[in-house]
Chain A
């Protein structure tokens, strides 16, 4: 018996990590090991956020300020020229960050609020509520959301509020599915059962036991859903049924200046002008995708083969 004590002691048993790390030290360690794509993505997202928040400071002119010369070429006065009715494109790009990104963020939040709450409820309840919601979502997802959005916009008209609500509701179906799928896996865990046995209320179990454990996939999904919403709104605006003038918006800016592209042979800068807002959209989604890709790789625990 004494021999075994020498070999084994509970406190001396080796765990995987010996010291406790705080959130920030862990974040620092992760960041220092992150690939360049993720760092690049984080930087871009940061710049966009700053531009969107402080748009009036960075923009040289007002959002809807009209100058006498339409389609003015690139110059020191108008860095990217003016559009078809003489508004400064550079200023509108910066305001566009605020409008387009802002609307997409609001829409994504709303989608997560709806989809997340219902998904969680369905995962915990698992009875008729789950059945009802799941079937309803199946049907909603049986129609491509862009087509559905077009139908709804044709009925209710294209206002920013309508746009946010329609896209958020359509997109919440995917959030619902993911939340439900992830939460179902957590709900069956013994620690949730242990909390039930202790006699904890449903609110406590949701808040303390389930929510913290489904956050990583939901955060990743937030990034992906944002990209999807952002692209959908941009596409709708580009089609002329999304964000309406005079609000500066990248999707409709592409549409407004599209004809300039055929002048590229004579003036490459003019030809590039309609691509600028499109590139602004692309850059942000690329950045987010890079970050999400890294985040998923980190949290899923999947190790690539070497």
Chain B
């Protein structure tokens, strides 16, 4: 088998294994709940029968591995169980399917993340590469100090500064990003402007610094000095000698930061009351609505693992040592 294929398959296998273990960890959340949580969810007035019925519904009487298989089987088919909220002591059940809670919000979150990524990735690659090329210039030092400052800011600080300036003092954008399925695209963009802007600022700082470091590292290779000494111009050095070897580090930087976006999105959604998965998850954590927490965590984890997997695969398929084996 070709080494590239072999390595890629190996990496895929590792990704699947990771996903498996992660799903077990998330699943065991419900196992670790204290014994009386049924009472806590249904309220003090709940009778023993309703609590017992609730436990039966959750399948707590069955052995854990069977419930794990049912849970994973359901998750693959898009069934993440039923929310804890909406239940009460009398046994009436107005709870909703977790998937119905998550689906519309997932679309919102993906929208916000994509808008951010579309702006942030090209901007930070440009800033990172140029500051690496003109390192130690005034341009580089300015960008460096600015981004070092920005990465030190909590996301909500950046968010509130933007709100103060662009929503409160100069009301250009709305401070609340309330969108729903019926919001038209341009309106949606307008209302998501501040959250997207916040995320962009945070991400660009991180991504730019990492790109700069990766490029500087690359430019220090002896073969770059060799290329210069064989008369290659700056453009040729960059395009022909640095770039073919830069895909792996750049892919890693992008994937890492998109994954970081997944986390940043939680805080930003809460600040702007943006109806996304992050806000849903925080609400669920506060009310200890475990099935919803599990569902959201699973989605975040899958995204995160997937992004890192893609970056690694790009690194593998652009590695000349693997592409052209001995």
List the interface of chain A (C-beta within 8 A of B): 37, 138-139, 142-148, 150-151, 153-157, 227, 231, 234-235, 238-241, 251, 254, 258, 261-265, 268, 271-272, 274-275, 278-279, 281-282, 285-286, 288-290, 293, 304-306
Q: Smallest CB–CB gap between A137 and chain B, Å?
A: 12
A37 vs B304: C-alpha distance when bound (angstroms): 35
Q: Does B181 contact A (CB under 8 A)?
A: no
B206 to chain A, nearest CB (A): 12
Is there an interface contact between B285 and A153, defined as CB atoms closer than 8 Å? yes
Q: Is the interface of A mostly helix, strand, loop or mixed?
A: helix
Nearest CB in chain A: distance from B321 CB, A: 22
B92 within 8 A of A: no
20 interchain pairs, CB-CB under 8 A: A139-B21, A143-B25, A144-B259, A144-B301, A147-B262, A147-B263, A151-B285, A154-B288, A155-B288, A238-B156, A240-B282, A265-B171, A274-B160, A275-B161, A278-B157, A279-B157, A281-B157, A285-B152, A286-B152, A290-B148
Docked-complex contact A154 and B285, CB < 8 angstroms: yes
Q: In the complex, A254 Cα to B154 Cα: how many Å?
A: 11
- What CA separation (Å) do A195 and B296 show in the bound complex? 52
Asked if B156 and A143 make an inter-chain contact with CB atoms under 8 angstroms apart, the answer reads no
User: CB distance A142 to B18 under 8 Å?
Assistant: yes
Bound-state CA distance A306–B135 (Å) is 9
New contact pairs (5) apart from A37-B145, A147-B297, A275-B164, CB-CB < 8 Å: A150-B266, A155-B288, A241-B286, A254-B157, A282-B154
- Which residues of chain B from 156 to 171 have a CB within 8 Å of any chain A CB? 156-157, 160-161, 163-164, 167-169, 171
A249 vs B288: C-alpha distance when bound (angstroms): 23
Number of residues of chain B lying within 8 A (CB) of chain A: 54
User: Which of chain A's residues have a CB closer than 8 A to the CB of B284?
Assistant: 154
Are B293 and A275 in touch, CB under 8 angstroms? no
The 10 tightest CB contacts between A and B, nearest first, are A285-B152, A278-B157, A264-B168, A286-B152, A154-B285, A144-B263, A282-B153, A147-B300, A146-B263, A142-B18
Q: A148–B148 Cα gap in the complex (Å)?
A: 26
Contact (A285, B267) CB under 8 Å given A142-B301, A262-B168: no
Residues of B contacting A148 in the complex (Cβ-Cβ under 8 angstroms): 297
Contacts of A37 in B (CB 8 A): 145
